[in-house]
Structure 1
Amino acid sequence: MCSNLDRLGTTVVVSSEVRLRKGYSAHGWVRYGKVAGVKIMVSEWWDQEVELLARRTRKQVNSQPVIFETGYGPSGLPHLGTFAEVARTSFVRWAFTKRFPDIPSRLIAFSDDMDGLRSVPENVPNKDMVRLHLGKPLSSVPDPFGIADSFSGHMIGRLKSFLADFGFEPEFYSSSECYYSGAFDAGLLKLLENVEAVKAVVLPTLQPETRVTWSPFLPICEVCGRYTTIVSDYHPQDAQISYACSTEFGGASGCGNTGRVSVRGGKVKVGWKVDWALRWMMLGVDYEMYGKDLIESAVISGKICKALGVEPPVGSFYELFLDEEGHKISKKIGNGISLDEWRSYAPDDSILYFLTKSPKKARKIGRELVGKTTDEFLLLLKQPTADNELLRTMMAATAPGICRKHNWNWSSEFDFSLLVSLVGALGIDDVAAVHSFLRDNPALTLAPQDDAFAFELVQFALRYDRGLRATRLPDAAAHELSIGEIHALETLLQRLGDADFTAADALQTMTYEVGKARDLGLREWFSLLYQALTKNPTGPRLGTLLMLLGRERSEKKLQEFLNSAVKSSEKDEIST
């Protein structure tokens, strides 16, 4: 019971003894245990966030909407982490609305498109052209893809497209809109009038050599259009600052110009930590999530808010997504599995399910995770929606009709990983043929109501299998078999001739006994059989795979593997 709870984090029905304890599930801190005939409600992580937000009552008494915000720096292509911040915040917003239905709320997705271009991303075309604009606001850099009106416009457009596909409907704000329109003018004037108070917060956190020239304001040089400027004086009575274009930014050097500009109308922006505080103050933000790497920035931005007489929002950090080597995924590098790749390998709904898991745990995102997550999602779909808090939250947080394909039901007994292994073993790159194999296989029960979804899953499995081919062994002979492995394969082929292919457990036991009798390492032995059957070193339960492939296919695959390995060994002996 506890293992299922850890996996799904949903309501469970338990019986007999009472034993409650606190545990960390995939979805956060929960209370679970056994109580006769009683459903134990699990507290999801978004409910914990609402508990924190509920203490902030300022807007609840005057009927103003509670503002949820997410932030995106469009310095590179949006990745899963960018999308995740909007999705997770939407889950929290839904939980808040469920608890406080009479309090209105808004979700703002803010893009800092006036951030300066510090480097050229590795995953964009026309790098030489982009390099010419280092140090300029992202909204002033041409689109390297030649589609949008600016570099940031392209990146923001990609994010909007992803969010629309999933049914998320935040209000989109950008720095350029807020600065140029004058929406931030009042806040900028307040910062100018309280420069020393802001410095008192920020300067102690900087290196001594940086403190001398640091300013909350970043003027855009009127000549070269870059942030290669240093503030030389403040003129609060005129709402202006003086500057010299005499430093470096993103590898670009200042042009030597000096000037005096207004802090209003988009002629300046403020640095990151101050900009975050300005945004919170001017938009009235009540809640925002941020990556673990921004915890210190959030603390400083909160102190700046307080120095300006403003209450900072409730903040919540999340752990970072990592690539398969354990490195943080980056917009500028494009490492880790991309949203486009995940969507080609598995249903969109599997991404939403993945993002319901606790954000307090760092996770490596790669192709293997996609398969595992899809298996878990199919298992989740076997639970009635009425008793399934996760599905209700996923439905409610997205626009109606977007992520509710096939009524979100699945009752068949096979999962996605098994389907991928079958595709690899069958060697058939045809959706209809694989789908027919599933429907006609006497050892497999495909529920009629799952037929359409199964057809879609076959399409995903075929694309997933194509993605695996680059990492597969080029042929069966790539594994140099030992004498013991050859004899074990010969023995297994003999025993399969009389085996009952309707009994997966018996087939599993048989393969185990054959390997053990030859004193083979069982991990290596099973990996060898997976390679022989699917050309992958891992797979589903071997007895089930053999049963579904049937006697003829199983024997043929194993015999071909054995013959190829023996021929390769003979060639090696001749060459030596």
Structure 2
Amino acid sequence: MNENSLTPLDLSPEFLEAAQASKAWPFEEARKLVKRIEKRGSDKPVLFETGYGPSGLPHIGTFGEVARTTMVRTAFRLLTEDKIPTRLLCFSDDMDGMRKIPDSVPDKSFLEPHLHKPLSAVPNPFGGDYDSFGAHNNAMLRRFLDTFKFDYEFASATEYYKSGRFDEILLRAAEKFDAIMQVMLPTLGEERQATYSPFLPISPKTGRVLYVPMKDVNAKEGTVTFTDEDGEDITLPVTGGNVKLQWKPDFGARWAALGVDFEMFGKDHGPNMGVYDRICQVMGGIPPEHFVYELFLDDKGEKISKSKGNGLTIDEWLTYAPTESLALYMFQKPKSAKKLYFDVIPKAVDEYYTFLQKYADMPAMQKLGNPVWHIHSGNIPNVEMPVPFAMLLNLVSASNAVNKDVLWAFISRYAPGETAETNPELDRLVGYAIRYFEDFVKPTKSFKTPDEVERQALADLDGRLAALPADADGAVIQDAILDVARSIERYQDTKKKGPDGGPGVSVVWFSSLYQLLLGQERGPRFGSFVALYGIDETRALIAKCLEGKLG
């Protein structure tokens, strides 16, 4: 068990009342769990479980499962006034056989001799202190969960099987062998039915996980007999880590063995949910409450896979953005498929800080619908963020900043009193902005060459900016920028109305400004950017653009 602990909750009457009516999805799931506990009694802790298959390095979907389960757990705690103990068990299926070699390993040939061995018996291809591939990947998961300060217990399937913690359920599986087969066989094709067994023995000769039929299952002795890879019949006890269960029976058996009350999983498990439940019931357990979430997609719209290594890893997101932005992405619309790639990061960052700044002024009901309550388990930090992340990215772009000092010179002028020391959260964001710009924005920058209409518009804008006081705020500057475009037909939007009743200004004008001056297609409110970057500095950009010196 890690050293993190549950944060205390605000149990004031207004929060308790709001919790009962909140429509935020974690509360909707937690209310189902409350009804379950009312039926089964609260004499033991409520067990939340998440599963992890360490066949590849942990990806963000794995983290999302723990984060989302924690959100339901926190909602349950508030609904029950935090009077019923809860546990979160992160279970790693590290006894599964390695059926293929992941693309993410440095040397595939190193692992080829170990195909089909349990992941916890496959040598570690990454080097370091961990003695197996499974142990290394487990450690990568735990490192991040600890960094995020989740309160959880970690469990290894290998340890549970070998230590005897699953012996009782395995003996019961031998006893209920025929009943398990009756559940499983209708879900299989004719060819697979002929060879299927819920037990997967570990060959004592090769160490491989064997997918072979059982020649005999002796419930009284607690043994199985099968033909090993060399053709010899072998009899092994089902206990002590000599066999493991196929993945579908393993789900249901684990639920029954541990008394799991809640587990969520991805849409790809949805069709098998009924099978898991029936196995659990055959084993004498009560299936847990479920929550099925949609899968994450990479930049090509394909499902993220640990073995392929597509999409984002945990470390990659944290290189460019704070953990809270990732948690926000997990909170939002969990039943909708979402693209999970680098270009979603800036929006997630700015949305997180927007929700955070609005929280304090909300009534209790709205607070429980605000994502930050769920992200921080009700313990909301006090953070001021005077400059949005998207604005920082544009500031890096315009100033060609390669270190924090350059950006802080602009920020301190824009927001007097703000420094790296007085606002470490903003300083952290400055570092993220520089890294994100260098890796994803800078390589794609493409400055547009102004045509005659654009040259005249830029010259007009330069003159209007020159007429403004040096300390003009973003709103005043924005009005000046809009005034330039109102008289230019190309930039007029007849669906909008200007202050004089004429046409409004099209977004094409602002898109042009970003393409001309920053080499990007879009950005935040341009007047606010000019206020941050500086009027004189923006005029210098305009001059370079007109002289053909940008890019």
Bin for the TM-score computed over the shorter chain: 0.7 to 0.9
Give 1:301 shift: 0.8
Quickly say closer, same or farther: Cα 1:288–1:515, change in 2 above 3 A.
farther
Work out which of the residue numbers 441, 445, 459 in structure 2 matches 1:493.
Answer: 459
Equivalent position of 1:232 in the other structure: 215
More divergent stretch after superposition (494-503 vs 207-216): 494-503
Change in 2 beyond 3 A, CA 1:393/1:39? closer
CA shift for structure 1 position 105: 1.4
| Match in the other structure for 1:92 | 72
Contact 1:324/1:366 (8 A) holds in 2 = yes
* Rounded Cα–Cα distance in structure 2 between residues aligned with 1:258 and 1:564: 81
Measured after TM superposition, the shift of residue 293 of structure 1 is 0.6
* TM-score of the aligned structures, taking structure 1 as reference length: 0.82
Which residue of structure 1 lines up, in the alignment, with residue 14 of structure 2? none
Q: 2:163 pairs with 181, 202, 206, which one?
A: 181
Matched, 1:326 2:301: yes
The CA deviation at 1:454 is 2.2
Deviation at 1:557, TM superposition (A): 2.2
Deviation of residue 393 (structure 1)?
3.5
Deviation at 1:43, TM superposition (A): 2.2
**Superposed displacement of residue 289, structure 1:** 0.6
Residue 19 of structure 1 is matched in structure 2 by none
Map of 1:343 onto structure 2: 318
Alpha carbons of 1:310 and 1:451: their partners in 2 closer, same or farther (altered >3 Å)?
Answer: closer
Bigger Cα displacement from structure 2, 172-181 vs 383-392 = 383-392
1:452 aligns with 2:424: yes
Q: Which residue type is aligned with residue 55 of structure 2?
A: S
Partner Cα separation in structure 2 for residue 179 and residue 58 of structure 1:
32
The answer as to 2:521 corresponding to 1:541 is no
Q: 1:392-411 CA distances to partner (integer Å, 9 max, x unpaired)?
A: 443337xx8xxx7xx43226
1:292 CA drift (Å): 0.7
1:438–1:446 contact (8 Å) kept in structure 2: no
Whether the 8 Å contact between 1:69 and 1:285 is mirrored in structure 2 is yes
CA distance 1:317–1:63, change in 2 (3 Å): same
Shift in Å at residue 52 of structure 1? 1.0
Listed one character per residue, the Cα deviations across residues 128-175 of structure 1 (whole Å, up to 9, x for unaligned) are 111221111101100110121100000000000000001012111111
Counterpart code for 2:245 = V
CA RMSD of aligned residues (A): 2.8
Determine which of 432, 443, 462 is the counterpart of 2:434.
Answer: 462
Q: Distance in 2 between matches of 1:266 and 1:538?
A: 57
Q: 2:478·2:526 contact (CA, 8 Å) conserved in 1?
A: no
Give the 3 Å change call, closer, same or farther, for CA 278–553 of structure 1 in structure 2. Answer: same
Structure 2 CA distance for partners of 1:174 and 1:309, relative to 1, 3 Å: same
Find the residue that maps to 1:537 and give its secondary structure: coil
The SS at the match of 2:290 is strand
- Separation of aligned partners in 1, 2:456 and 2:543: 8
Q: Could you state the TM-score of these two structures normalised by the residue count of structure 2?
A: 0.85
In structure 2, C-alpha distance between the alignment counterparts of 1:208 and 1:363, rounded to whole Å: 36
Write the deviation string for residues 89-128 of structure 1: whole angstroms up to 9, x where unpaired. 1111111112222211111110000011011111111211
- Alignment size in residue pairs: 506
Partner Cα distance (1:51, 1:523) in 2: 45
Alignment of 1:287-298 (within 5 A): 287-298=262-273
Mean CA deviation greater in 488-497 or 186-195: 488-497
SS class of match (2:215): strand
Unaligned runs of 5+ in 2: 1-17, 494-504
Q: Quote the offset at 1:470 in angstroms.
A: 5.6
CA distance in structure 2 between the aligned counterparts of 1:465 and 1:522, rounded to whole angstroms: 27
Q: 1:425 pairs with 360, 384, 398, which one?
A: 398
Distance 1:321 1:446, change over 3 A: farther
CA 1:331–1:60 in 2, change beyond 3 Å: closer, same or farther? same
Residues in 1 aligned to 2:182 and 2:54: alpha-carbon distance in whole angstroms: 30
Q: Cα deviation per residue 1:527-548 (whole Å; 9 max; x = unaligned)? A: 3421332222221122332343
Q: Which residue of 2 aligns with 1:207?
A: 189
Mapped partners of 2:230, 2:527: distance in 1: 71
Pair 1:132-2:113 in alignment: yes
* 2:31 alignment partner in structure 1: 51
Q: 1:136 to 1:40 in 2, by over 3 A?
A: closer
Who is 2:87 aligned against? 106
Deviations 1:3-62 (A, max 9, x none): xxxxxxxxxxxxxxxxxxxxxxxxxxxxxxxxxxx9997421111011111121367535
Deviation (angstroms), 1:257: 4.2
Identity %: 35
Alignment of 1:215-230 (within 5 A): 215-230=197-212
Query: What is the CA–CA distance in structure 2 between the aligned matches of 1:84 and 1:513, rounded to whole Å?
Result: 46
Change (3 A) 1:106 1:495: closer
Amino acid at match of 1:487: V
Mark the runs of 5 or more structure 1 residues left unpaired by the alignment: 1-37, 246-253, 569-576
Whole-angstrom CA distance in 2 between matches of 1:134 and 1:90: 35
Alpha-carbon spacing, 1:511–1:42, altered in 2? closer, same or farther (3 Å): farther
SS in 1 for 2:244: strand
2:383 to 392, 401, 409: 409
Deviates more, 1:41-50 or 1:502-511: 502-511
1:274 equivalent to 2:249? Answer: yes
Query: In the alignment, which residue of structure 2 is the partner of 1:391?
Result: 372
Give me the whole-angstrom Cα distance separating, in 1, the residues matched to 2:487 and 2:514.
Answer: 15
The residue type paired with residue 331 of structure 1 is K
Q: Does 1:243 align with 2:241?
A: no
Deviations 1:459-483 (A, max 9, x none): 111111112246413x63xx4x47x
Q: Deviations over 1:227-273 (max 9, x none)?
A: 2341222222221111123xxxxxxxx44443111111101101000
2:240 corresponds in structure 1 to 265
